[in-house]
Structure 1
Amino acid sequence: MKKYRVLTKTELKKLKDEFIEFLSVQTITADDWKKIKEEEPEKADEIIAWFSEVMYEQWMRKIHFAVKFDPQSITAFRFSASNMVLVSLKAESNQINFTEMALSDLSKEDIKKLKVFTSTKNYEKSREEEIFQLIERGCVPDDGSYFKKLLQLLPN
């Protein structure tokens, strides 16, 4: 059962070296690959889908934080082995646009007007699948700085 989407042709082109290495590990030579693509396109698609699964799994394992910006909110995630924690700021009015400003630009008055929300959720699917779904919905991997900054804004 597939957990991730198949890489696009553009994405595959960028991963040419990794794909060649993947084929090599599967003992598929360049000539074999050419023949498979010409004579067994369904098998070629299966190999690309398998490669996609392997690559996404590797990438998702490396992600420990992610962030998502909307004009009226910013949400940061921390991914542990068993659950994810989110911290979110939501503006009640259109006076703040998180896509156009840095968190450090928030004044104390701005912060008082924000709703701060936290939540912890156990994974319903695998950790990697849930991270992938968030990324597909617009989250971007982060080094944890947004998560830590948002935590500092929580009321004591």
Structure 2
Amino acid sequence: MKYRQLTKEQFQELNLEFSKFLATQQIDKNEWEQLKNERPEIAEEELAIFSDLVWDDVLSKTNYIEHISEHHLNVFKCYSKEIVRIYVKCTNASKNFLKEDDFNWFLKNPLDETFEYYKASKKYLEERNLEIFKLIEMGGQISDGKLFDSLIQLID
């Protein structure tokens, strides 16, 4: 397995897509039930293959990742050959990026002296989608890129 198996909730949300996937494998509903009961290892393989297909599709379309913690903000732009990271550190212990009021204050006062900005880029050491997946597994969230785009304009 390339990534990780989708959760039960994710499979439920993708029920129609999974049914179509099984159809492409020439497995109908009755055969699927039989596989689950009599050959669970093969059923697990099918779940793994489907999970990898879904992850590859999602990750291929992912251009931005955000990871926000109390005093640190990491935003990434995922290009085809490299990833660009903007890191913002809040040095004011009374401010917290996870609190809506404090985050909005940051957005209105990005040049306040309590914020330190860093920017770096690196070529992928592994396959692009695998590196993006690892960022997500470490708590990153796929985003629309608005925060990255506004920060890049601020620091460039």
**TM-score using structure 1 length:** 0.91
Structure 2: how far apart are the matches of 1:151 and 1:113?
Answer: 18
Q: Helix, strand or coil: the match of 1:118?
A: strand
Provide the aligned C-alpha RMSD in A.
1.4
Offset at 1:153?
2.6
Aligned partner letter, 1:104: L
Aligned residues of 1:74 and 1:98 also touching (Cα < 8 A): yes
Matched, 1:85 2:84: yes
Instruction: Give the % identical residues.
Output: 30
Offset at 1:119?
0.8
Q: Helix, strand or coil: the match of 1:99?
A: coil
Aligned twin of 1:136 = 137
The count of aligned residue pairs is 152
Q: Helix, strand or coil: the match of 1:131?
A: helix
Stretch deviating more after TM superposition (99-108 or 6-15): 99-108
Aligned partner letter, 1:105: K
Aligned twin of 1:40 = 39
Q: Which runs of 5+ in 1 are unaligned?
A: none
Aligned residues of 1:65 and 1:142 also touching (Cα < 8 A): yes
Matched, 1:104 2:107: yes
Structure 2: how far apart are the matches of 1:23 and 1:6?
Answer: 16
Structure 1: how far apart are the matches of 2:69 and 2:37?
Answer: 45
Offset at 1:93?
2.7
Q: Which runs of 5+ in 2 are unaligned?
A: none
Structure 2: how far apart are the matches of 1:95 and 1:106?
Answer: 15
